[in-house]
Amino acid sequence: AQSVTQLDSQVPVFEEAPVELRCNYSSSVSVYLFWYVQYPNQGLQLLLKYLSGSTLVKGINGFEAEFNKSQTSFHLRKPSVHISDTAEYFCAVQALTGGGNKLTFGTGTQLKVEL
Amino acid sequence: NAGVMQNPRHLVRRRGQEARLRCSPMKGHSHVYWYRQLPEEGLKFMVYLQKENIIDESGMPKERFSAEFPKEGPSILRIQQVVRGDSAAYFCASSSGTSGGSRDTQYFGPGTRLTVL
C-alpha cells in the first residue's frame, strides 16, 4: 500500500516570492509521482509527473519538482509565484507494480499568494 | 473540448433518493476511474473500469454504490439511498491504456458536487 503526506495544509506567500510545497510518500514498491493543481470548483489539472530518468522534473506554469528516493520526497517548487497560482495542490503516487492503476493522494496544500 | 466531461456539475438529493453521476472519458480513452473528495480531504480512489469490465473496486463502499462503463455511452456512478455522509465531490478520470495497459496518465474531469439534504 502507498501513502502520501503533505505536511503543510496552507502556505501563504507574497507575490514574486519563491515557494516550496512539501510531499513525502511511503511505499513498499517503486512508484510514479505526480503533482496536480485544483482551482476553486474545478477538476484537477496535471502539473508534472516523474516516471523515470532525471530526478528534476519541469512542469507547466513554471513549476518544477525533484524526486529524492532516499528521502522519499517529491517537493514542488516555483522560483517566483503569481497571484494566479493561488489554488490547492495535490501530490499523488501510483505503484509501478500491483495496486492497480489507482492514484493515492495527499490531503492537499492550499497555496495562497498575496500582494 | 476533448477533455473529460462530467454531468451534472451539481446535484442535490434528499436522503433516501438515488444519485446518478455520469462521466464521458477523453476521446480515445478506454479506462475510467472514479474518486471521491470529502470536505477538507484529498481524493480517495473508488473504482477503476474499462469498457464493460470492473478492474478494481477496492475503494468502493460495500453497499449502495455501484459503477458501470458500458460498451456505448458514459460511465455511471450510482449511489442508492443516499445519506448525508455521501455529500462530496466525485471526480472522474480517464486514461488511454496504451502504456502497456497500465500506469498511463490520468486526466480529470471537473467533478460532480453532490449535496444530500
Asked if B43 reaches chain A (Cβ–Cβ under 8 Å), the answer is yes
Q: Which amino acid is at A89?
A: Y
Beta strands in chain B, from DSSP E residues, in sequence order: 5-7, 10-13, 19-24, 31-37, 43-50, 53-56, 65-68, 75-79, 88-95, 107-108, 112-116
Provide the shortest C-alpha distance from residue A102 to chain B (in Å).
6
pLDDT tens figures, B65-97: 999 999 999 999 999 999 999 999 999 999 987
Average pLDDT for residues B45-62, to the nearest whole number? 93
Q: What is the CA A32 to chain-centroid distance, rounded?
A: 12
**Chain A residues with a Cβ under 8 Å from any Cβ in chain B:** 4, 6, 32, 36, 41-46, 49, 90, 92, 94, 96, 100-108
Q: Which 8-state DSSP code applies to residue B96?
A: -
pLDDT tens figures, A4-60: 999 999 999 999 999 999 999 999 888 899 999 999 878 899 999 998 888 999 999
Site from B103, B105, B112 to mutate, A interface, most A CB atoms within 10 angstroms: B103
